[in-house]
Amino acid sequence: MQIKDLISILDLSVADIEEIFATARRCKEKQKKGEEYTPLKGKSLAMIFAKSSTRTRVSFEVGMLQLGGHALFMSTQDMQLKRGETIHDTAKTLSRYVDGIMMRTYSHKDVLEMAEHATIPVINGLTDLSHPCQALTDIFTIIEKKGNPAGLKIVYLGDGDNVANSLALIAGKLGLHMVLCIPPGYEPDKGIIKEAQGLADHSGAKLELTNDPQAAASDADILYTDVWTSMGKEQEREERLKIFKPYQLNGRLLAKAKPDCMVMHCLPAHRGEEITDEVMASQQNISFDQAENRLHVQKAILTLLLGK
């Protein structure tokens, strides 16, 4: 890859995405065979967290360990950022200590600023606008399970959040059929959708926005959902529960999809809200394979960015 940072799917060419997937497959194969693969021996990754995390922290930390490197967990509550140090100064300082920075935060501008001033690679571990590592993992998992994703109907149900934004962009890049089924007023970022549609026009992708979950689920190959209330929006939870109820991924909705439809969720799942226990327990649920693949896809990203 020719890029320095991974902030958005827009940073990646189709060739970059294919290289990430090929490297992720190699990382996964080596781990499953018990083969040592340590291209990042002696390298360090600073992991900055403004948002709490399970999968992002563990997958990046374990990933660096397996690649022979070291990861440092840094909560913004314990850093000088909390006491007024600028992102500019933090980026400059960390660039003298470590080989890469992963940041999981609220404001997308913070990650952009970190990347602007750091002289080392910066990886977006999640912002309110974008979640590129998740979207890459999702398509990697679909390819692993279904083969060539071209022609598959991939349906995302729920909030037009960072995951929806990044899925729209990667679908546009790769020429996929993506249906975003979102309640009115909760659509993805307008700028992102404009970018995604532009990509789709070039690649032949089919990008649909709808607010009819029954129609969206019909003949779907993949049904994908995410939490209805993201971190930082907890005060909206009760209102969202009412508005999003028709978008719940349950047995009735799953029955409208193809018989071999697979269910995805980036986790954590709020069972009984966006997805039912019945669907989580079904053989069609691949969300834990999806969670595992975060490790392998992020190892690929780390290898390609930090191993230069």
Please identify every residue annotated as catalytic.
104, 131, 134, 226, 266, 294
Of 294, 306, 307, residue with least CA distance to 24: 294
| Alpha carbons 144 and 141: distance in angstroms, whole number | 5
Amino acid at 147: G
- Per the CB < 8 A criterion, the answer to whether 227 and 270 are in contact is yes
Q: What is the DSSP string of 143-197?
A: HHHHS--TT-EEEEES---HHHHHHHHHHHHHT-EEEEE--TT-PPPHHHHHHHH
Question: Beta partners for 154?
Answer: 178, 222
- Other beta carbons within 10 angstroms of residue 298's beta carbon come to 29
| Alpha carbons 52 and 83: distance in angstroms, whole number | 19
> Helix (H, G, I), strand (E, B), or coil: what is residue 265?
strand
Q: Exposed, middle or buried: residue 191 (CB in 10 Å: 0-12, 13-18, 19+)?
A: exposed
Cα dihedral: 32, 36, 41, 47 (round 10) = 20
Which pair of tokens denotes residue 17? Answer: 């995405």
- Residues 57-87: b if buried by 16+ CB within 10 A, e if exposed: bebbbebbebbebbbeebebeeeebeeeeeb
